[in-house]
Amino acid sequence: MKREEIKQFLAHREPMLLVDEIDIDENKIAHGKYTVKGDEHFLQGHFPGHPVVPGVILCEIMGQCCALLVKEHLVGKTPFFTGMDKVRFPASVYPGDTIEVTGSVAMQRGMFFFIDAKAEVRGKVCSEARLSFALVDNEKLDEREAAAK
């Protein structure tokens, strides 16, 4: 899938859509890519003259890629992080790098998913984690927004 097809499943939009392409293989492993262009909002000020992709953004990239593992459940729902465990950032990511994500569902409890994810640049691990997220009905999000007004 490319960006336009990904938008059919994920609620994220620019500038926070952080998946360029994704494939799910026959073993239900996600293979996603995102190329850091250098003009992303999260690089402004992190760090001036030496831009480095923040670790939390690497987690977001892995999360978005891996949410597509359960794309059949995403219709009418939005994924929200519920946890990040065993998070590591053994290498930095810079403008021009292509981040390659792999991930698989380790466990599911209702609409809660636990994902083992890894991000690499040129074969070197830059992040890995056990991510968890819940799928929330969009109708509930609309109700919250209306109540806040």
Total of domains in the chain: 1
Bridge partners of 107?
Answer: 114
| CATH of residue 42 | 3.10.129.10
**Residues ≥6 apart with Cβ < 8 Å to 45:** none
- Confidence (pLDDT) at 143: 79
- Confidence (pLDDT) at 19: 97
- Confidence (pLDDT) at 34: 98
Query: Is there a cis peptide before residue 95, judged by omega within 30 degrees of 0?
Result: no
Q: Which domain holds residue 72?
A: 3-148
Which residues are identified as catalytic? Answer: 46
Within the chain, which residues score under 50 in pLDDT? none
42 secondary structure, DSSP code:
G
For residue 17, give both structure tokens: 């859509």
CA distance linking residue 85 with residue 59, whole number of Å: 11
Asked whether the beta carbons of 53 and 38 are under 8 A apart, the reply is: no
- Confidence (pLDDT) at 8: 93
- Confidence (pLDDT) at 93: 98
- Number of separate helices (H) and strands (E) present in the chain: 4, 6
Of 22, 42, 41, 44, the closest CA to residue 33 belongs to: 22
